[in-house]
Amino acid sequence: MYFKEIEFGGKAYYNTIELRYKVLRQPLNLKFDAEALALEYKDNHLCAFSTENKLVACLIMSPLENAVVKMRQFAVEPEFQGQSIGRRLVSFAEQWASENHYNRIILHARLTAIPFYLKLGYIIEGDEFMEVTIPHRFMSKDI
């Protein structure tokens, strides 16, 4: 297993769209908006690959103001879930954020993902809200 940042628009990037659709959008009967995808050129795309170079997990880091970055669109291939790959990808993302001079990561967590993030030191802030048709909570971590 290895972790790396990939380029927007390349083959690996298009593989992340397929993975994010399969894991995050398709179960909710949602499609990606082409305009929203086009804006991802300004984001950082971090991925986990198997030793056979197969994409197994991905997430996006979207830079904000004041040394804050938003983690979003985090997806792990279903057959690789429960193997600590997600935890290791988040650790890689936190290291990436620190090396790029961010000191805080924020995210919108689906309710089912909150225990995962709590174990990694993220804290819940604010009230529950709806996003992409399901409840979420705002979470953050200072790094």
pLDDT on residue 76: 96
pLDDT-derived band at 30 (thresholds 50, 70, 90) equals confident
Distance from C-alpha of 81 to C-alpha of 55, rounded to nearest angstrom? 13
Distance from C-alpha of 97 to C-alpha of 104, rounded to nearest angstrom? 8
pLDDT-derived band at 9 (thresholds 50, 70, 90) equals confident
8 A C-beta contact, residue 63 and residue 46:
no
**What would the pLDDT profile of 10-22 be if each residue is shown by its tens digit?**
899 999 989 999 9
**What would the pLDDT profile of 69-79 be if each residue is shown by its tens digit?**
999 999 999 99
DSSP 66: T
Kindly list the structural domains of the chain, giving each domain's residue range(s) and its CATH number in brackets, ordered by start: 2-142 (3.40.630.30)
pLDDT on residue 54: 93
Looking at residue 12, its amino acid is A
pLDDT at position 44 over 90: yes
**What would the pLDDT profile of 49-76 be if each residue is shown by its tens digit?**
999 999 999 999 999 999 999 999 999 9
User: Does the model's pTM come out above 0.75?
Assistant: yes
